[in-house]
Structure 1
Amino acid sequence: MKNAIPFLLITIIFSACHKKTAINNEPTTTVITGKVSNPNVYPDTKTFTLNITDYRGKKTIICDSINSDGTFSFTFDLYKAQDLSIDPIVGKIIAHPGDSIHLNIDFADIGHVRFSGDAQQSNMDLYKYLNGNYCIFSFSNREKNTMSFIAYKTFCDSVKLIADEKQHEFVQEVNPTTEVDNWTKDYIELSYIQSLLDFPFYYAYVRGLDSYYDISVPDSYYRFLDGIETKFSESVINTNLYTLANVYTGNFTRSTITDTTLSRDSTILQVLNELIDKHEESYFKQVLLGNCFYQFLNTNDVNSFDKHKDLLDKNIHESSIKDPLIIYYNKLQKQLAHPEINSDATLAKLNGTAGKSLIDSIWATNRGKVIYIDFWATWCAPCKAEMPNSKKLKKMMVGKDVEFVYICLNSTEQQWELTISQMKLDGKHYYCNREQSKSIRQSFDIDGVPHYMLVDKKGNIIEAGSYLRPMNTETIKKIEKLLTN
């Protein structure tokens, strides 16, 4: 069995006079307005939510309440033409930087959202595709994960053929705009590739294997990745591309970096150079590279970011990727210099929520100690798989001023008690009910579990993320550094 690669790669005022256009790919103010008719049909629906996904796969969520006259609006900056998601009822729409888009939504006729303003035709066409039978297909690896690799690839090929035929029917019947034609083709291609990349993990799981590394995948299986960077349109971005990029980068790293004795920094540099050398110039290539640099910052590794910034400047030209990285970098520098500012702002989000008293008690009880917090759930296999490592780390830290705290989220109390008993896990354990779990996840920006947090002796949140796993060399170094401060 191979060792894991030591690199975590696995996030204005509207004017009716004229529309601003994006210049040099800079972010431009975009406006979406809406009007609801017959709101009394669904009296409990009082807000609309806009989800904007960026190149990291991270979502910016904007909410607006429905006014007494039925109106609502969103104003935001946008770098590139891409899909956005509006809930409830609307679903995916396409927006360009500087667009002014209007939605008419009749709660008595929710199957027919009406569009006006910019991108009207594209959004009418996209709505027909997504609400018709054209997009009904499923690469169901949960049902098919007992297949061999070649059999599963054949199955996916057959599903893609049907999806392509339906997309062709859509084009013949609707004659959509070019960007909707491209978006729908990408929708199918991205779903197809994502499913094939996910399958090896399901394959290992159903066979009870400890790791993806324990399986042997036929070389021919991955031919669908040949020329991947040329497969997608750049005129309008289907944001499933961003989800795919994260999975693809991890797969690329595992298949490319075979020397597990390399230092972390050497591995990072090799991954970057291999991504640069083995991909043609494209938006997708820049997304891949951008994600690598984002991972530096997401693990508070500003040194590696600085060390390899020449590669960023030479190979990433898209403002939609480069600008957020630089903004994040500058923000992180300030946070590292003054951790108490960001920590106070994060903890302030808990004010008035169900989770505040629990977190306050943990902070108060362990004042003067370094706190290593493990956010987990009873149904989370990766969470429980890390528990033996947590025991080892705790044993290493015996006699030192560090407290191990385990906060169970989104689980039943009965299962929580049973799991702790079975795992025979020491430390301080806390169970969160549904409301506490919700408030803690939102306040601490916890997208998934396991999620770990380091708190210094003064009660400042220093950093948090899934990468701070127990027995990870970097995690141990970070704890020891906090102990000496």
Structure 2
Amino acid sequence: MNKALLAVLFSWPLLVYSQEKEPEKTLRSDTVVITGKINIPINAKGQVVATFYIIDYLLAAERTYFSVIDSTGNFHVRFFLRNTQDISWRFDKAQPSRQLLLAPGDSLHIVVDQSGFHFSGANAKASKDIHNMRTPEESTQYYYEREKGLGLEPEEYLKFCKERFDKDAQWVEQYCKERNCSALFLEWYKSNNEVSYFSDLLAFSWKSLNYGLGSTVRLRGERKLKYDSSFWSSMKPSDPAYLLSSRFIFLLNGYSHRYTRESSAPAEAQKLKLSRIAEILNQKVTTESNDADTRKELNLIKEMYRMSEQGEPVDTAMLRVYWKIAERYDTELKTMESRWWIERHAANLTDIADTNIADILLVQFFSNAQEDYNDIDYLYNTVFPKIRNAQYQNIVTAEYTKNKSLQKEVIVDTNGIRFVRVSLNKTGDQLLTQIVKQNPGKHILLDFWATWCSPCRSDFNKMKALKAKLPSDSIAYVYLCCQSTQEDWVKDVKNMDVKGQHWFVSQLQYNDLQKKLKISGFPSYLLIDGNGKIYKGFSLWDEEAFVEKIRGIVRR
């Protein structure tokens, strides 16, 4: 199986992740190229990579790119940017990430030696300014002090944030005067400072739950209206300068919360379900007039609807009966409820006065909701017509087309690695059943992991050595990638060269498996024996115990 076919099957942009330098004519105009050389020792075992983190505000996602650092210290990576913005990077897991400031089409070269970091190429001065802006220790202290304000009452928090905003504005003017900073860095800092200020204010109502306001006295009602009115009109979310800051995504999140978090929505969704059940039961009564049990259930549902309308509490006995009734029509009710939520959420976002922000949030909603709703056609047909910006419409259509192709099952074998992506319409149970069927008579070691999980990567390296100590003929190694993008999944598995079966798990499938198998985090290990019995309690903290436990089960 060649690389080109693998890229097509998994919608994987090969150009972005290739480590080989290709002719410049193949590069898109918005492609950023970063090369570098590390001339200092790195405190790491195994394969060393340079990692770059890009916040995509439009799709509300973080894109991660890796480049293996070769034996001579060189690395090379490419990715696209929608606009000029800050990104983060690091090459040593023991060190915190630092920032760079780049524009679409930039080429940047980084050299790291005993004297520090050296930059050359497009926007090298801006990247140097942002990279050296604060030491890691200063950054930690800065964010720690910001978090302390969450213990204040709303009125005091407003003053606290404004004082910090003014202090930072004064600081950067003096900082740049002393260091002759680039104009781009100064523009970024001012924008980032403003975006951070408003983002913190917007997030206060939910971030403060564990602080001064507690969990029962949330910022709401007249007090919240007064709080919001003190700064809402000062925000300029459509200002192009805001896009320079990766924290713009948090400001958008605050906007979305304001327009879509409705306390009445769950109650209305429940009434909708009661109404639909009543329709179904009423139809049965009409066609099966002698069904006394159905009439009894219909009367109970009608009574629950009345109580819901009046705000009366429903007793436990009624709820037990309701749950049994609802379980019979679970599939239909889930479809109806998900469509209702899609319509409501899209309508709320469309009501935002700033049409540019409304369109951005609709694109974000479509991008994120694809993982939450199987009915992607209904999602697209509801959201697309509400987007007014033609460029954003094209992005949603591209996402829709790509994800429609992901409904198909794909199996690819390459260099001892099997990639399996089942239809996203399948449940977690169906996925697990398929895994067992594809490994008849085998003991199946399941490894649940995620591309953003550092311990998962460490365990991959451990498992490469431990496989030699386990009876390979009777064990199938199955890796289940969860809460990740398919692009990152394929890229990471190929980069780490993890032999075995690799299955991609959608969020809905993971929810099913988490509930069924009681998965508590990543990495998690389970063993299914040849009779379908599931064993738990495995951990690579003690490698010898891990091996002995599996050997014992296999020998039975």
TM range (shorter): 0.5 to 0.7
Match of 1:72 in 2: 75
The answer to whether the 8 Å contact 1:183/1:233 transfers is: no
Q: Which of these residues, 53, 58, 63, is aligned with residue 60 of structure 1?
A: 63
Cα distance change on mapping 1:307 and 1:235 into 2, 3 Å: closer
**Structure 2 counterparts to residues 9-158 of structure 1, below 5 A:** 12=15, 14=21, 22=29, 28-37=30-39, 39-40=40-41, 42=43, 44=45, 46-55=48-57, 56-88=59-91, 91-106=98-113, 108-109=114-115, 112-131=116-135, 137-138=142-143, 140=145, 142-158=147-163
Shift of 1:236: 5.6
Output the CA distance in 2 between the equivalents of 1:205 and 1:80: 36
Output the CA distance in 2 between the equivalents of 1:310 and 1:266: 12
User: Once the two structures are superposed, what CA deviation does each residue of 1:129-161 show, in whole Å capped at 9, x if it has no partner?
Assistant: 244999774474653434211011111111222
Output the CA distance in 2 between the equivalents of 1:78 and 1:371: 31
Tell me, yes or no, if structure 1 residue 325 matches structure 2 residue 329: no
Structure 2 segments unaligned to the other structure (5+ residues) = 1-14, 270-339, 412-419, 425-430, 436-445, 450-458, 465-475, 481-507, 526-533, 543-556
With the length of structure 2 as denominator, give the TM-score of the two structures: 0.54
Tell me, yes or no, if structure 1 residue 307 matches structure 2 residue 399: no
Number of residues of Structure 1 aligned to a counterpart in Structure 2: 360
Output the CA distance in 1 between the equivalents of 2:540 and 2:239: 41
Shift of 1:310: 1.9
Output the CA distance in 2 between the equivalents of 1:19 and 1:119: 22
Give 3-state SS (helix, strand or coil) of 2:244's partner: coil
User: Once the two structures are superposed, what CA deviation does each residue of 1:322-349 show, in whole Å capped at 9, x if it has no partner?
Assistant: 5553333123222335488623899899
Output the CA distance in 2 between the equivalents of 1:243 and 1:226: 18
Output the CA distance in 2 between the equivalents of 1:203 and 1:130: 27
Q: Which of these residues, 205, 208, 211, is aligned with residue 203 of structure 1?
A: 208
Tell me, yes or no, if structure 1 residue 291 matches structure 2 residue 364: yes
Output the CA distance in 2 between the equivalents of 1:372 and 1:66: 33
Aligned residue identity for 1:82:
Q
Cα distance change on mapping 1:117 and 1:162 into 2, 3 Å: same
User: Once the two structures are superposed, what CA deviation does each residue of 1:234-282 show, in whole Å capped at 9, x if it has no partner?
Assistant: 486211112332243123323798896374244124213212xx1154x
Q: Which of these residues, 405, 426, 439, is aligned with residue 517 of structure 2?
A: 405
Match of 1:458 in 2: none
User: Once the two structures are superposed, what CA deviation does each residue of 1:184-229 show, in whole Å capped at 9, x if it has no partner?
Assistant: 1122222222222232224334455369587764322113232534
Match of 2:291 in 1: none
Q: Which of these residues, 422, 425, 432, is aligned with residue 343 of structure 1?
A: 422
The answer to whether the 8 Å contact 1:137/1:159 transfers is: no
Output the CA distance in 2 between the equivalents of 1:85 and 1:371: 31
Tell me, yes or no, if structure 1 residue 221 matches structure 2 residue 300: no
Tell me, yes or no, if structure 1 residue 254 matches structure 2 residue 261: yes
The answer to whether the 8 Å contact 1:115/1:123 transfers is: yes
The answer to whether the 8 Å contact 1:410/1:432 transfers is: no
Cα distance change on mapping 1:307 and 1:203 into 2, 3 Å: closer
Give 3-state SS (helix, strand or coil) of 1:308's partner: helix
Match of 2:310 in 1: none
Give 3-state SS (helix, strand or coil) of 2:365's partner: helix
Point out the structure with the larger helix share: 2
Structure 1 segments unaligned to the other structure (5+ residues) = 1-11, 23-27, 361-369, 377-389, 391-403, 414-427, 437-485
Output the CA distance in 2 between the equivalents of 1:297 and 1:98: 30
The answer to whether the 8 Å contact 1:20/1:29 transfers is: yes
Output the CA distance in 2 between the equivalents of 1:245 and 1:429: 44
Shift of 1:116: 0.4
The answer to whether the 8 Å contact 2:191/2:242 transfers is: no
Match of 1:190 in 2: 195
Give 3-state SS (helix, strand or coil) of 2:130's partner: helix
User: Once the two structures are superposed, what CA deviation does each residue of 1:410-442 show, in whole Å capped at 9, x if it has no partner?
Assistant: 6999xxxxxxxxxxxxxx995564679xxxxxx
Output the CA distance in 1 between the equivalents of 2:22 and 2:343: 51
Cα distance change on mapping 1:127 and 1:405 into 2, 3 Å: closer
Cα distance change on mapping 1:98 and 1:372 into 2, 3 Å: closer
Output the CA distance in 2 between the equivalents of 1:66 and 1:18: 25
If asked which structure has higher relative contact order (CA below 8 Å, sep 6+), I would say: 1
Identity of counterpart residues, as a percentage? Answer: 17
Give 3-state SS (helix, strand or coil) of 1:309's partner: helix
The answer to whether the 8 Å contact 1:30/1:75 transfers is: yes
The answer to whether the 8 Å contact 1:164/1:188 transfers is: yes
The answer to whether the 8 Å contact 1:290/1:316 transfers is: no
User: Once the two structures are superposed, what CA deviation does each residue of 1:376-399 show, in whole Å capped at 9, x if it has no partner?
Assistant: 7xxxxxxxxxxxxx8xxxxxxxxx
Give 3-state SS (helix, strand or coil) of 2:133's partner: helix
With the length of structure 1 as denominator, give the TM-score of the two structures: 0.61
Q: More displaced, 326-335 or 138-147?
A: 138-147
Cα distance change on mapping 1:199 and 1:411 into 2, 3 Å: farther
What RMSD, in angstroms, separates the aligned Cα atoms of the two structures? 4.4
